[in-house]
Amino acid sequence: MSTRPTGAGLFVRIGARSIIAHKLRLVLTLLSVVIGTAFMTGSALFTAQLEDSFTAIVSSMFDDVDIAATGGPGTAGIPADTARALRGNPAVSKVSLLADPATVVVARPDGSVLPTGGAPTQALPVGPDGGMLGGTRDVTGDRPTGPGQVIINATALDTAGLAIGDRVVVVGPTFTRQATITGSYSSAADTGGWIGVGFDEDTYLDLFAAGGRVQMVAISLTGLKNDGAPGPGIPRGSDEARTVIAEATAGIEKTLPGAFVIPGATLADQTTGQLKQALSFLRYFLWAFAGIALLVATFLISNTFAMIVAQRTREFALLRAVGASRAQITAAVTGEAAAVGLIGSAAGVAGGVGLVSLVGVGMDHLQIGLPRSAMTLSATSVAVPMLVGTVLTILAGYVPARRAGTVAPVAAIAGAGTETHDDVRTRFIAACGLFTFGVTLLAGGAVTESLGTTEIRVWFIGAGAAALIGGLWLAGPVVVVPVVAFLGKIVGAPFGAVGHLAATNGRRFPKRTASTAFALTLGLIMVTTIGMLGATMKANVSGMIDDTVTADYVIKGPTGSTLTVPEPLAEAVTRLDDAGQVAVLRTASLTVAGKTRGVPGGRPNSTDVADLDFTPGAGSGLELNPVAGSVNLTGKAGVIIDTDLAAKTHTLPGDTIAVGTPDGEEFAVEVLGVYDPFSGLGEAVISQRTAQAIIGESTIGIQNIFASSVRRDEASIARFGEELNTAAAPYLVVSVLTKQQFSDLSVAGVDQLLAVLYGLLALAVITAILGIINTLALSVIERRTEIGMLRVVGGWRGQIRTMIYLESVVIAVTGALNGAVVGVAVGYAFLSIMTSHGINTIVIAWDTVAAMIAASAVVGVIAAAFPAHRAAATPPLAAIVND
């Protein structure tokens, strides 16, 4: 004999049956949770996969390195001859040398560059024993023995369709030469699109070891072996091995005076730690956008449960009538929300796994050079998204759950509850306070420089934006009534009575309409703000280049690479018949006040170096607007800095500022002048004379060459461009750009960044679309009798569909308009802060705003497709039979 559940068990069953009974009503709510948690899971898995891959690469590269030595402060590296002499030490089994950076480009004889998908192409030395740093495996062919021979990793050869015996062209910082591939190999780094070009050690040192010095020496000791390796020897992970390494380290420190000498395991740990720290930023960045999608989903979930609660008023009233308490009803509805959150989050975790797999397939198809290891689930990638998705769903469903608990038993014979005007009035009063507070903070942060640093003013803007968004949420039910009425008249006018009905329906439940529109409002606020930022950046970059670059042509190295323009090209350009003024902007591994150039494609730890007169009208091809002192560096010792760095360091012309080397040594250098910020340069430019005195001429590379024709007519300028292209052709990866092309290329980076941000924000917009679909679908269920009556009095199915479409369009456009207004305000306030940092013109992206509003109307039509079809299918009999 079965027993009926009572108490908590009864309401668990009621909740379970309710979910099953209303599964179609909850499916889109479930999907919104899935989207947010899937992206959060995917972000965690993807970054963890990259971390594991890079960690494995670093560990494998250093698995037989017992001791590593790097140049100490005040040195330009370790003398290569001294390091090579270590091979005579009986305690040393292998010595590998590494110059940094040793970046090259490899091409076929026809000039087509071997693709890497963004991964580096590195030059590596092949020692006398044929080994390279990290060891080599599956070596085929012969090791290189002269300047015209190289070996290349097997994966790169297979991808490029090359084989041993083929010829390639190798381009480096100071050379371009043809070489024969004598062999292939595999190594730990042989993953992604990475290319490793092995030169014999003598050739490598001639090409890359400036002043005969290297940046790192990797040493393997005699008698040690990797853990688990067969044969005699001491396992490297044992205490005995650590003792041997410590004793050898002391002796090598004496052999390499002034160098940092540390165990290889320590260097591997430091390297992997730096990689993990860099990748953690990527994870948090991606999680931020997943959080935005989940925040939008929260409003969708709350709105859905509020509507379902209103539709189940009689059900709850009957439960109250048979003895259920308020707490039990609230707990039952909260339990439903928890179940939706748990199921949606679990599905999201599974979706995240699929998303990462899909990304991996796409990366392989596009040959993107990122290493990928096997995917492994962790507590972070599973537990955190599950917890966040479930908790947010419970929180979103709690307020409707409490409202369900307040249903009185008498409601069993009454209609569904309606929105209370007192609640709307209270919300509006609170919203006015938040609006006032938010506008005050925005205005204060935008125009009041006395608030302090830029960072503090940004916090003011952020707090003001949050207050405005909160105020907009609270005031939504009041704001949407006139907006919906106005838009309803415009949108509905061509459709007569059907359009009038659609406009009226949008105003009947203002809280519901406001909540639905608000989800889209959040997405449009961010899209509008980011659009303004991008448009402003592009306009200012273009304006700066127009005002600053006076040369006819700009010659630059490969974008996104640390490879500089080959030195011989600068000399070749100056010898051209039509060459007039030729200005060379260089780069060196130096810091100014701890700052580097930080421009994509620049060398690591690099700062601009020049022997130019940047004074307007001087004819150098590159002009700066001097604020104080002189910007003429020709033949002088010193540095010029922009107004941002001058303000940060409280430095004026005549003062000194610290210029640092990669080894940590600092020099006090005189500041010659201060200039207005220019995006094409960093915060400082060091005179070539000073840079040479600090690190030597051989370590200074060429960043850009600015060249002008000797004559100013169009024909001579065009002819000069042809001469430049001919001179640059042998160097393969060097680009000759007109001033306009250089400007377009500089702006392209902003477009790429915007594309990534818009792509991530698409999560929030998709979730908002789901919200509109869900609200309209539930509204159709709620208005079943009403729609049936419209059918009874002669309404066609097409008219019913049109009415739902118009309602959806009005809701979507209302949300977009609200988002555009707040987004423009926030964007303008933020950009106002940047006027003191080189932003001369603030651009409101009206084209983006208009496109988003138009797109929102399309979104409304798409979102209404399913609800409109369902509404049109409502039978006339539903007017008298409410099933």
Mean pLDDT score, 410-432: 63
Structure tokens that stand for 167 in this block: 């010829």
| Domain membership flag for residue 369 | yes
Burial class of residue 74 in the structure, from the number of CB atoms within 10 Å of its CB (0-12 exposed, 13-18 middle, 19+ buried)? exposed
Q: What is the distance between the alpha carbons of residues 261 and 344, in angstroms, rounded to a whole number?
A: 53
Same domain for 398 and 488, yes or no, is no
Structure tokens that stand for 835 in this block: 């006027």
Q: Which of 80-94, 198-212, 301-315, 356-370 has the lowest mean pLDDT?
A: 356-370
Ramachandran angles phi, psi of 833, nearest 5°? -65, -35
Same domain for 768 and 870, yes or no, is yes
Same domain for 759 and 838, yes or no, is yes
The residue among 69, 59, 62, 74 whose CA lies nearest residue 89 is 69
Same domain for 572 and 721, yes or no, is yes
Total domains in the chain come to 4
Reduced to 3 states, what is the DSSP secondary structure of residue 349? helix
| Domain membership flag for residue 692 | yes
Please give the pLDDT value at position 603.
46
Q: What is the distance between the alpha carbons of residues 233 and 222, in angstroms, rounded to a whole number?
A: 9
Ramachandran angles phi, psi of 37, nearest 5°? -70, -30
Instruction: Establish whether the linkage from the previous residue to 101 is cis, with ω within 30° of 0.
Output: yes
Please give the pLDDT value at position 690.
92
Per-residue pLDDT tens over the stretch 586-605: 888 888 887 665 443 444 45
Per-residue pLDDT tens over the stretch 22-47: 666 667 677 778 877 887 788 778 77
Residue, of 60 and 4, whose pLDDT is higher: 60
Mean pLDDT score, 656-670: 85
Answer whether 177's CB lies under 8 Å from 102's CB.
Answer: no
Please give the pLDDT value at position 197.
92
Reduced to 3 states, what is the DSSP secondary structure of residue 166? coil
- Assign 837 a pLDDT band (cuts: 50, 70, 90): low
Of the three residues 733, 756, 786, the one that is the final residue of a domain is: 733
Q: What is the distance between the alpha carbons of residues 384 and 43, in angstroms, rounded to a whole number?
A: 12
Q: What is the distance between the alpha carbons of residues 815 and 768, in angstroms, rounded to a whole number?
A: 10
Instruction: Name the one residue in this structure whose structure tokens are 């004999």.
Output: 1
Per DSSP, the residues of 605-619 read T-EEEE--B-STTS-
Largest CA distance in the chain: 106
Reported as type and span, the H/E element at residue 167 is strand 167-171
Per-residue pLDDT tens over the stretch 230-241: 778 888 878 888
- Assign 562 a pLDDT band (cuts: 50, 70, 90): low
Burial class of residue 464 in the structure, from the number of CB atoms within 10 Å of its CB (0-12 exposed, 13-18 middle, 19+ buried)? buried
The residue among 506, 334, 313 whose CA lies nearest residue 413 is 313
Tell me what percent of the residues of the chain surpass a pLDDT of 70: 86
Please give the pLDDT value at position 417.
47
Of the three residues 186, 208, 230, the one that is the final residue of a domain is: 208
Structure tokens that stand for 19 in this block: 């979910």
Structure tokens that stand for 693 in this block: 């005195």
The distance from CA 500 to its chain's CA centroid, rounded to whole angstroms, is 45
Q: What is the distance between the alpha carbons of residues 629 and 643, in angstroms, rounded to a whole number?
A: 12
Helices (H), 493-577: 496-508, 510-548, 567-574
Q: What is the distance between the alpha carbons of residues 511 and 478, in angstroms, rounded to a whole number?
A: 8
Reported as type and span, the H/E element at residue 265 is helix 264-311
Same domain for 656 and 706, yes or no, is yes
| Domain membership flag for residue 72 | no
Per-residue pLDDT tens over the stretch 679-707: 677 789 999 999 988 887 767 888 888 89
Q: What is the distance between the alpha carbons of residues 387 and 864, in angstroms, rounded to a whole number?
A: 32
| Domain membership flag for residue 847 | yes
- Assign 75 a pLDDT band (cuts: 50, 70, 90): low
Please give the pLDDT value at position 207.
87
Of the three residues 208, 240, 255, the one that is the final residue of a domain is: 208
pLDDT at residue 526 tops 70: yes
Mean pLDDT score, 817-824: 88
Angle in degrees, 0-180, between the axes of helices 421-447 and 510-548, rounded to the nearest 10: 10
| Domain membership flag for residue 466 | no
Residue, of 317 and 166, whose pLDDT is higher: 166
Q: What is the distance between the alpha carbons of residues 836 and 677, in angstroms, rounded to a whole number?
A: 9
Alpha-carbon Rg for the chain, nearest whole angstrom, is 34
Per-residue pLDDT tens over the stretch 708-749: 888 878 888 889 989 999 998 888 778 899 888 888 887 777
| Domain membership flag for residue 484 | yes
Measure the N-to-C terminal CA separation of the chain; round to a whole number of Å: 33
Ramachandran angles phi, psi of 607, nearest 5°? -135, 150
Please give the pLDDT value at position 181.
94
The residue among 682, 513, 502, 520 whose CA lies nearest residue 602 is 682
Same domain for 412 and 508, yes or no, is no
What number of CA atoms fall less than 13 Å from residue 692's CA on the CB side? 11
pLDDT at residue 16 tops 70: no
Q: Say which CATH number the domain at 113 has.
A: 2.40.40
Residue 341 carries which side chain, given as an amino acid letter? Answer: G
| Domain membership flag for residue 709 | yes
Which residues fall within 8 angstroms of residue 357, CB to CB, at 6 or more apart? 375
Angle at 790 between CA 786 and CA 791, to 5 degrees: 115
Mean pLDDT score, 367-393: 74
Structure tokens that stand for 48 in this block: 């963890």
| Domain membership flag for residue 132 | no
- Name the E strands within 187-299: 195-200, 213-214, 216-221, 224-225, 234-235, 259-263
Mean pLDDT score, 246-260: 85
Mean pLDDT score, 180-185: 92
Tell me what percent of the residues of the chain surpass a pLDDT of 90: 9
Answer whether 556's CB lies under 8 Å from 737's CB.
Answer: yes
Same domain for 810 and 712, yes or no, is no
Q: What is the distance between the alpha carbons of residues 138 and 133, in angstroms, rounded to a whole number?
A: 15
Same domain for 495 and 404, yes or no, is no
**Most confident region among 374-383, 605-614, 752-761 by mean pLDDT:** 605-614
Answer whether 150's CB lies under 8 Å from 198's CB.
Answer: yes
Answer whether 671's CB lies under 8 Å from 653's CB.
Answer: yes
Same domain for 594 and 722, yes or no, is yes
Q: What is the distance between the alpha carbons of residues 602 and 109, in angstroms, rounded to a whole number?
A: 27
Q: Could you tell me the residue range of the domain that residue 170 belongs to?
A: 100-126+146-208
> 646-665 burial by CB neighbour count: b if 16+ within 10 A, else e?
beebebebeeebebbbbbee
Same domain for 47 and 109, yes or no, is no
Answer whether 442's CB lies under 8 Å from 402's CB.
Answer: no
Same domain for 580 and 699, yes or no, is yes
Residue 288 carries which side chain, given as an amino acid letter? Answer: A
Per-residue pLDDT tens over the stretch 123-148: 889 888 766 766 667 788 888 988 89
Please give the pLDDT value at position 17.
65
Residue, of 530 and 653, whose pLDDT is higher: 653
Residue 367 carries which side chain, given as an amino acid letter? Answer: Q
Same domain for 814 and 677, yes or no, is no
Mean pLDDT estimate for the chain? 80
Answer whether 784's CB lies under 8 Å from 882's CB.
Answer: yes
